[in-house]
Chains A and B, each alone.
Chain A
């Protein structure tokens, strides 16, 4: 699992929960809320989709790590690697 792959997973999740958004030019270092119409319920959807589809838990105190694609990748890559271990 690479940072790039994690970014693709997050982008794919956002494409489902915010289907009206144009995701072709997301700047990875800019907060998602600054470039997309996302609210707190949408971030809870991202957390739920990570739980359902990837068996990854994001505790509430760690929600700020989901701010941008870069911070998502930095925070989630180890979790994806851990969940992939047999």
Chain B
């Protein structure tokens, strides 16, 4: 592959319910420290959720936090952290050649619900509806807030791809860098979803909202007694650039994009399709010029719904039946489902493996569901592996959108 087509990750900024930096996040994933809590949700009451506690005033004024959105604030925090992590000479970078591409599952629910509640206090008179509503709810909001905060004059937009969006943001940035449209990308995914009652209420009506007396045991993918999704917020933004540019500036190369695929089930709004998921993984492998047995870590999407986990396991059996050295894990068991951020955060949770040689576990599996039995699921404790060279990261979403991203250690 031509050097200019080789795209590398050179910085990571994130906030997850159990960590506000790549190192803190990694430490907690290797030391069995999840963080799910019970919060009070308007119209519903107590619900389980993953909530972030990053310092929103680190990169924003109080007025900017007040006038903007939570997703925008998360995106600003993660983007600034990623830039610092990358050690890029940001001051002298041509900002017209920087692209911001952020995956979102949804955006605007939080702000719209808030305004409807607000005018309900005034007999639903719309003269009390905030003039901030439109800039808060336009679909490009989180990326747009980043462009204003960082004075980026290149393209900025979000990619609406349900819960496949985090991968989709990174994939899109890779494509734009290869096309030569930009020289530097801030890309990943963000979510403020744990602040909208509508998402909780909808999952509850669907019978897919997790409950457990111990919040930290609520998200239990592949466990026989799993009972649904824990909705979380979070964000993860990567600095991506062409390999030749990264080498030129002596950047620390964290990983290289090996391959990817986005496809569609075209079958059902909520029920995943294992054949299409398998096709997505196989095509990403083909693009990577890797076979299933070459994959060191398979980071699963599984959200701990009864059927969704089984469907993904069926897809994995189709692809990885002859891959005895591929280890399988799940990051959601620690942080819940961070929706638009999920793909990006779950990849970040695993990237540390290239450096420390450990694979973080899937926690909360007391009894593995017989329908979810797979070779080498890393159960409850991390494992140390000799050679970790590649990660295949699954991220799937409603309306049947699948995204698979493969990264490899840079050699």
The chain A residues found within 8 Å of chain B, CB to CB, are 17-20, 37, 41, 44-45, 48, 51-52
Contact = CB atoms under 8 A, between A and B. Distances in A.
Given A20-B61, A48-B131, 19 more contacts: A17-B63, A17-B66, A18-B63, A19-B62, A19-B63, A19-B66, A20-B62, A20-B63, A37-B63, A41-B131, A41-B132, A44-B131, A45-B131, A48-B128, A48-B130, A51-B127, A51-B128, A52-B122, A52-B128
Contacts of A48: 128, 130-131
- Which residue of B63, B122, B131, B132 has the most chain A CB atoms within 10 A of its CB atom? B63
Interface of B: 61-63, 66-67, 122, 127-128, 130-132
Contacts of B63: 17-20, 37
22 contacts: A17-B63, A17-B66, A18-B63, A19-B62, A19-B63, A19-B66, A20-B61, A20-B62, A20-B63, A37-B63, A41-B67, A41-B131, A41-B132, A44-B131, A45-B131, A48-B128, A48-B130, A48-B131, A51-B127, A51-B128, A52-B122, A52-B128
What is the interface of chain A mostly: helix, strand, loop, or mixed? Answer: helix
Nearest to A47: B131
Contacts of B66: 17, 19
Contacts of A44: 131
Contacts of B61: 20
Contacts of A37: 63
Contacts of A17: 63, 66
A44 B128 CA distance: 11
A37 B67 CA distance: 14
Q: Which 6 A-B pairs have the closest CB atoms?
A: A19-B62, A20-B61, A44-B131, A20-B62, A18-B63, A20-B63
Nearest to B130: A48
Contacts of A20: 61-63
A53 to B, nearest CB: 11
B14 to A, nearest CB: 26
A42 B254 CA distance: 43
A24 to B, nearest CB: 17
A17 B67 CA distance: 9
A45 B62 CA distance: 15
B70 to A, nearest CB: 17
A44 B132 CA distance: 10
A20 B122 CA distance: 29
Nearest to A20: B61
A41 B63 CA distance: 12
Contacts of A52: 122, 128
B209 to A, nearest CB: 34
A56 B122 CA distance: 14
A39 to B, nearest CB: 10
Nearest to A18: B63
A44 B135 CA distance: 14
A45 B122 CA distance: 17
A44 B131 CA distance: 7
B242 to A, nearest CB: 38
A44 B67 CA distance: 12
A26 B61 CA distance: 20
A51 B129 CA distance: 11
A41 B127 CA distance: 15
B241 to A, nearest CB: 34
A37 B61 CA distance: 12
A67 B61 CA distance: 24
A51 B122 CA distance: 11
Contacts of A51: 127-128
Contacts of A19: 62-63, 66
